[in-house]
Each structure stands twice: as structure tokens, then as C-alpha cells.
A and B are shown apart, each in its own frame.
Chain A
Amino acid sequence: MKHSLVLLSLLSVTAFAYGTAIPVQKKEVTPTVKKVYQAPMPQADTKQNITVICPTGTCSKPMNTQNMSYSNVLKTEKEDVLQKDTNMVIGVIGQGVAPMNTSSPAQAYALAKRAAVADSYRLIAEKIKGVRIEGDDLIKNMMVKRSTVRTSVKAMVRNANIVETTFKDGLCEVEMEIVISHSDFIR
């Protein structure tokens, strides 16, 4: 009888303990931290610039989304090549400035346009023939004293056409086009 009373009291104590026990907060199991860096979205129409990089490799994004940034980085523009029986149009915009000591706006325009034409010819020559680059660095006592870069181009340009000329605030811009064909380079 004594033992039954002790057992009964023990059961009641445990039942009380379960009933008034402080509920333990269920700790939500969070998945592993996914570091997804997203570039700020500047505009809605430039979605191709969004880069999603997942360094840990545990991202929930689909694989093609993760690889998107890499494919964009590796994408290179294909250069135009002059084929045998085709023509190619090359367009440039040259800029020239009017001198300060001009006697009239017309003279300023004429001089600025001539400078812009020369710049256009230079750009065409650079595009077609290429640029020669030379560099010199003078280092004295472990310090760079002089750093020089020289670029030069020499070519003969003919049959270039002026498409449009604009003159505003002393700056003249000449849009020039030249049509080159494969036969021009085969002599």
C-alpha cells in the first residue's frame, strides 16, 4: 500500500511536470547558408547584365542561371572579315576643333571641318591598316622618371565619302564612310 502511494505520487508529480513544463521553442532547421551575390539591377531592359555567382556550389538556382554570368564573360564579339567577292563599309566619326583666333564663324567652321576630316582619315587608316605602338620607360633609382607611348599609322586613303557634318560649340564632327573590297588589297 505504501509503495502504491509513493508510485501514485510520483506519477502525479511527473504528470504535473509535463503539464506545466515551459514549451521549448522549436528551432527551425535552416538550410546551409547560400551566398548568392546579385549585381544591382539598373534597368529592366538590361537583364543580360545580371550576374549570379554561387561560390559554394550549393545554390538552389538552376544550373543554367548560375552559369549565365560565365557565359556572358566568355562571349566575345566576332570580328568582321572581308570576304572575297564582298564589299565592306567602314564608318568613322572624326572630330576637329576650331582655333581660338578665327576672324569669323565661317572660318572657324572651315578650319574645324578640315581638322575633323583629317581625324576621320586617321581613324579609317587605323581601322584598316592598324597602329604601330612603341613604348619607353625610363627608370632611375627604382623610380619611373619618364613613361612614353608612341602610336603611329601611315596609309593612303582614297574614295572616302563624307556622310554628315555637324558643328556645335566650336567642335566639328564629320561622319565618314569608305567602301572597301577584297580587290583593293590584291595587286
Chain B
Amino acid sequence: MRSRNGNCYFSLRLYTLIFFHSLALSASEYLISYHYTVKDAILFNETLQISRAMQKCSGTLQKSFILDARKEDTLEQIIQNDYINFLQNIHKIGLDVSHTQVSTNIRNTSITSLTLHTTCFKVDFNDNFAKITPLK
């Protein structure tokens, strides 16, 4: 039976579908890994790798952080513009520390590596900012 208002329920369903579809399109998942090495107290090597996830990530959402962004920016550009802030939040997530110090005939050499293993991030792009949420 059809209600007196016409296709009220049908239009509501359609709007809901469009709304959630738009949300799903704007949110995307990225894989990010980060690594840097310090040799004898001097930064030696730093690598940040960003890639779109080719499969849907599983896991629970962790504490998110927000970076300033323009509408047309990609994630790489957003991170490039606010690199220090991004690194601070990466450090909060947790980094693996690996340190080795070798002392041969009273001559010291030390290597310290900090690594963020490949982690899936859910990124919500908005007009003025991007909301980045790590998944665990």
C-alpha cells in the first residue's frame, strides 16, 4: 500500500543511501610505515612510506588526530604541509625501538632505530582538515 504522502519512505531511504555512500567515498584507508635510524647521535636515514590500502583494513579505531588540509590536497601533501605535527602523533601511537652499541677496543659505535610498522590509517577528508585515525 502506498501512503498518502506519496513515496515518503522511498525518498528517505534514497537520501540515507546517498548520505552513507558519500561518507564511504570521502573516507579512505591508507597504509603508512615510518622508520629512521640514528648513528652515533646523528640522524642517518629517514623513510616514510604511504600507500592506499588495496584491501579493507580490519581492526578497532584508535585515538584520531587532525591535520590542516585544503580540499584538493592528497594525504601526501597534507602530511608534507604539517610534517612535525604528523610525526608527533606517530610517536604517540608507539614506535619500536632497537638500539645496538658496540664497543671494540674502547671505540664506541651506536645505532638506534625507531620504526612504525605498517599500520592502517582511516583518513576522513574534509574541506579544511583531514581526520586521521589509526586502526589496531
Q: Which residues of B contact A111 (CB under 8 A)?
A: 42-43
**Interface contacts beyond A150-B102, A153-B97: sample of 10 additional A-B pairs, CB < 8 Å, sorted by A:** A114-B36, A115-B42, A117-B91, A121-B97, A122-B112, A124-B97, A148-B104, A151-B101, A151-B103, A156-B97
A151–B38 contact, CB under 8 A?
no
Closest 6 CB pairs of A and B: A158-B94, A118-B38, A149-B103, A122-B99, A111-B43, A115-B38
A151–B100 contact, CB under 8 A?
yes
A146–B104 contact, CB under 8 A?
yes
Q: Which residue of A lies closest to B114 (CB)?
A: A118
A122–B97 contact, CB under 8 A?
yes
B96–A119 contact, CB under 8 A?
no
B105–A147 contact, CB under 8 A?
yes
Interchain nearest-CB distance for B93 vs A (Å) = 6
* A11-19, A35-43, A82-90, A92-100 - interface stretch: A92-100
- Which B residues, 28 to 81, have Cβ-Cβ distances below 8 Å to chain A? 36, 38, 41-43, 46
Compute the total of residue contacts between A and B using a CB distance below 8 Å: 92
With known contacts A96-B43, A97-B42, A156–B94 Cβ distance under 8 A: yes
A155 within 8 Å of B by Cβ? yes
B22 within 8 Å of A by Cβ? no
B92 within 8 Å of A by Cβ? yes
Task: Give CA–CA (A122, B91) in the complex, Å.
Answer: 13
Q: Which residues of B contact A95 (CB under 8 A)?
A: 41
Task: Give CA–CA (A125, B94) in the complex, Å.
Answer: 12
Task: Give CA–CA (A98, B102) in the complex, Å.
Answer: 22
B43–A158 contact, CB under 8 A?
no
